[in-house]
Structure 1
Amino acid sequence: MMRVLVVDDEPLARRGVIKRLSQHADIELAGEADNGPAALKSIQALKPDVVFLDIQMPGTNGLDVIRAMKPADRPLVIFLSAYGQFALNAFEVYAIDYLLKPIDDDRFAEALQRARDVRMSRRGVGQGTHSLDVDTPRFPVRFSVRSGQKDVVIAVDEVMWIEAMGDYAGLHAQGRVHLLRETVHRLMEQLDPAQFVRIHRSTIVRLDCIAEIQVLTNRDSLLRLSDGTPLRVSRTYSEALRRALFERGSRET
């Protein structure tokens, strides 16, 4: 059984989550809370496996509840919010998912399954059941690009983002753009998906360079990198970006 705590200051919202949870035979409701301090006490006392946690609550918000705990003591967290602008903060505290209100049934089921998968993965690693025989994919760690009359080596870790430039890919690294004779599509197939994600048919970004995400009214998003560069996220790739960020958080917990 997977024990779940539900935290939301709105009784109707709590009941909605609890009702959805009741439809899953492997879920046990560990308890519920309606504010941040009560949530922290309940997590410490009940030690649930998963917490569905509202972000905006009177007093201590959901993000501060998780920040107040040592990483080793934190349960798996699925944040709830009516606003998309807190998503990046959720990634920073390694939440495994972020559900926008009103909650979609399919997204709720997907988040719950993600919790199951992450919990099973952690238990498997803890018991030493993971296989060491599976081949680890090899990804490029550097690119060789032509600059005038010489070849220049660019480390993959120096690349912040990549844009399509005709038959070339423009590698943005350390304030300069280096042209690589490769299409963005082909390049994405070569890059480590744990490091890079496609956000537009002509744009790839490195995940750890993302500083801010703003959801726009037309379902696109505006992404800002750590150096201030603004990039548009097409709605076609929004789900891939969300998955990549949460999977990165799950690996780092």
Structure 2
Amino acid sequence: MNIRVVIIDDEPLARLAVKVRLSRREGFTLVGEFGDGTSAYEGVMALRPDLVFVDVEMPGKTGLEVLAALPPAQRPMAILLTAHDGFAVQAFELAALDYLLKPVDDERMDEALDRAQQAFPYRGQHRAATSMAPKRPSFSVRAGSRTVLVPVAEVERIEADGDYATLHAQGKTWLVRERLHNLAMQLDARQFHRVHRSSIVRLDMITEVHSLTNRDALLRLRDGSVLRASRTYMPALAEALQHLDEKA
């Protein structure tokens, strides 16, 4: 059993305290940490951890808002961290595993990790069932006065355009009135991958990955176009490309 963990807290020392305690326990692997709600949301969507430690109160988007914004099927197990005892109702509504008051003592931390290990097998069954759910076969787009169905299999990449998204398929572009993060949940993760907050790419379109000094990367596609991949999405993208190579 290996539970993949993300820590979300705007206080570096608080993140460090959780990391130190995690390092003492087998069966948990830290895959990411974030200090604000916006990057945390994008990171969780990209990394898809099994468990998050999340600070309830942060500047900007709060930890509870991050959890609430995640699609229920992709919402990880959550252990809430807070300095104030006043969020039990919200924790219950979001099905949080535990609710720890700062500073967290070792005994309460161990209890929370025990709960995560007990709940993990059931979480795995739920995700497996979700991954087998039917995926969207085509996109319905407007072309003048006509409605055209664009098969998902022909889509090469998708780019955000405000409240819309632009499909790139076989040399043509189509505008879809849906946000990018909604489209990402309707696509097969074995074929498509979000590489940036503004773009999704079909994995077999990627011919080259050039790493940058800031841990971002440039992706060259089969049609010659170049896209930037954010470091937030790179670990999951590298893993997906490895699995794609193994199947080839």
- TM-score of the aligned structures, taking structure 1 as reference length: 0.48
Larger radius of gyration: 1
- TM-score of the aligned structures, taking structure 2 as reference length: 0.49
